[in-house]
A and B are shown apart, each in its own frame.
Chain A
Amino acid sequence: MFEPHSLYITGKGTFYSLHPLTKLSGVLAVALLVFLGPGETEKIILIGLLIFLTAVWAGLLLPSIKTTIKLLLPLLIVLVVVQGFFYPQNTTILFSLGKYEYAWEGFLYALFVTARIGVILLASLLFLFSTKLSDFSRALTISGLSSGLVYLIVSPIYMLPDFADRIHRIRESQQSRGLDIEGNFLVRIKALFPLVAPLILGALVETESRALILETRAFNAIGKRSSLVEIYLSRRERVLQILLLTVALILSVIGIIERALFL
């Protein structure tokens, strides 16, 4: 049986005890600054350093770095190859492969793009590793987001194992009926429909039962909801959330103006 893909790593400390929405505000601020904030390489280094220190503070340095490398390594390899050969501003040639030339500028650009994604990924992982999904959904509900919207955000993550389980069963059933799913590209493409169709139809059929169950569990009840876990948002943290997002927004605007002026 497949289990939900919860990334939460048990731990404690000040970072863990931060309100889920404070951590989410931090991730949003990082994403905004990385893409829109003023500066280029120096900005990435500075934000990266800050996140690195936060990871040390949270006690999550090793798992977050390991996961980031695992996820980014394939992307880095592809970018280093593609940009090195085909980056439009390539001038400093490092070596040639036949008629193709590999350049320093493309290599640097590949590193820069990967670092940008890496910094955001690292920040997101810190959030995911230190926040229980159920606490996150409670925090969203308490913050006033409609329960339907929260369900739409959170439930797919919990349903992924169900889907994985079903894909596994469909594949085995179809293989037992003689469906060939291992072979060249064409064979695999042919096998796609008999695998995907039952998955989608099954999911549609189950939607009614899921809705039925939510109905019987008072999901559509009107009025204030309560919470099993007390998720307290202090005044200080509320200020921190506003500050993070406001500073990120202001710097993003500055960054946009700066780029517009220098282009």
Chain B
Amino acid sequence: MSTPPIIQLDEVHFTYSGGSHSALSAITLSIQPGEIIGIIGANGAGKSTLCYLLAGLIPSFFNGNFSGTATINDKEIANIDANKLPYLVGLVLQNSRLQLSHMCNTVYEEVAFGLENLGVPREIMLKKIDQALKMTGISHMAERSPYTLSGGEQQRLAIASILAMDSPVLIFDEPTSLLDPVGRREVLSVIMNLSKSGHTIIIAENHLEWIAEYTDRVVALEAGKILVQGDPKEIMSLPEIQSSGIGWTRFTQASALYLEKTKSGSPNRLPITLEQAIHFFQTEQGNHGN
């Protein structure tokens, strides 16, 4: 018997209030517990809107025309009350500084903020905070001011803040787009570790190599619709991914260029990851050698 999905979207349409076109159109998506889903798409494709929907913020927070069914753990998202939603799903946005509560002096207090709002008893709160700080690798910064942290550290703090609330589903809306390479590595490494701890992870991210390497499934969006979804290693080198404005990974692009220049017309599927690219070029070299 297959596990029931933790998130189920059926024929979801959403148009922002005052919007002239649908931000999401006919979205049908089933997400299993523990899955890592990558969401890719060009600017304006609907990645953030899909993240907000999965985080339970549509239609309650964003006004607009909503139709279809969206459930988390078999509960209609629109009917889940504010006290229960953080226990089901957590959201991390791209701007790390904006995610500070602006009510706390220290990293420790910042992680406690959500738990205080939920009325979690202090003894339990302390355990949850320690655990969340440990999982994101910022325990040693507990007494520092959140405002003195780097972008990557602040983003890990934002992750710790939602982790402390025990959300089984974690949604990341381009969490590394404003970070430097070091910050990006730190945050993506934390997200990878979280996936190992059984969390369901949904991440909208422009770092296509990372998406290809680490996600179980990719959902490619174009103009609010699902363009294609499936195993990243199978779909990310499809021509429609390139033509939709998402683009290919550097390895796919290099290989495609190589084939075009050598006019070899190799039957090999275009590589997506570094490992595949090495294998691809080794095979190509072998073919040319023969």
| Residues in A whose Cβ lies below 8 Å from that of B108 | 228
Contacts of A223 in B (CB 8 A): 83, 119
- CB of A222 within 8 A of chain B? yes
Chain A residue with Cβ nearest B83: A221
* Contact flag A219-B122 (CB < 8 Å), given A1-B148, A159-B102, A214-B101: no
Q: Which residue of B lies closest to A134 (CB)?
A: B105
Task: Tell me, in angstroms, the Cα distance from A138 to B55 when the chains sit together.
Answer: 28
A134–B116 touching, CB < 8 Å: no
Cα distance, A219 to B115, chains bound together (Å): 10
A57 contacts partner chain B, Cβ-Cβ < 8 Å = no
Does any Cβ of B come within 8 Å of A184's Cβ?
Answer: no
A215 contacts B117, C-beta separation under 8 Å: no
CB within 8 Å of A: which B113-128 residues? 113-122, 125-126
Binds B, one of A78-86, A167-175, A204-212: A204-212
By beta carbon, the residue of chain B nearest A150 is: B103
**CB distance B147 to A226 under 8 Å?**
no
CA distance A209 to B98 in the complex (A): 7
Residue numbers in A under 8 Å from B103 (CB-CB): 134, 137, 150-151, 154-155, 158
Against A, the Cβ 8 Å flags (1 = close, 0 = not) of B72-91 are: 00000000011101100011
Cβ of A162 within 8 Å of any chain B Cβ, yes or no, is: yes
A194 at the interface (CB under 8 A from B): no
Chain B residues whose C-beta falls within 8 Å of the C-beta of A220 in the assembled complex = 82
Contact size class for A? 35 or more
- CB distance A216 to B83 under 8 Å? no
Counting contact residues on chain B (CB < 8 A from A), the size range is 35 or more
With contacts A212-B61, A218-B118 taken as known, whether A6 is within 8 angstroms of B105 at the C-beta atoms is: yes
Pair A218/B105 contact, Cβ less than 8 Å: no
B193: interface (CB < 8 Å)? no
What's the minimum C-beta distance from A41 to chain B, rounded to whole angstroms?
A: 40
Q: Which residues of B contact A216 (CB under 8 A)?
A: 55, 57, 85-86, 90-91, 114, 162
Q: Pick the contact of B93: A132, A162, A212, A227 (CB < 8 A).
A: A212
Query: When the two chains form their complex, are residues B83 and A222 in contact, meaning their CB atoms are under 8 A apart?
Result: yes
Contact yes or no, B98 A225, CB < 8 A = no
Report the nearest A residue to B151, measured CB to CB. A1
List 20 interface pairs A-B (beta carbons < 8 Å), by A numbering: A4-B147, A155-B103, A158-B102, A212-B91, A212-B93, A213-B101, A214-B101, A216-B57, A216-B91, A217-B162, A218-B118, A220-B82, A221-B82, A221-B86, A224-B119, A226-B118, A226-B120, A226-B121, A227-B116, A228-B112
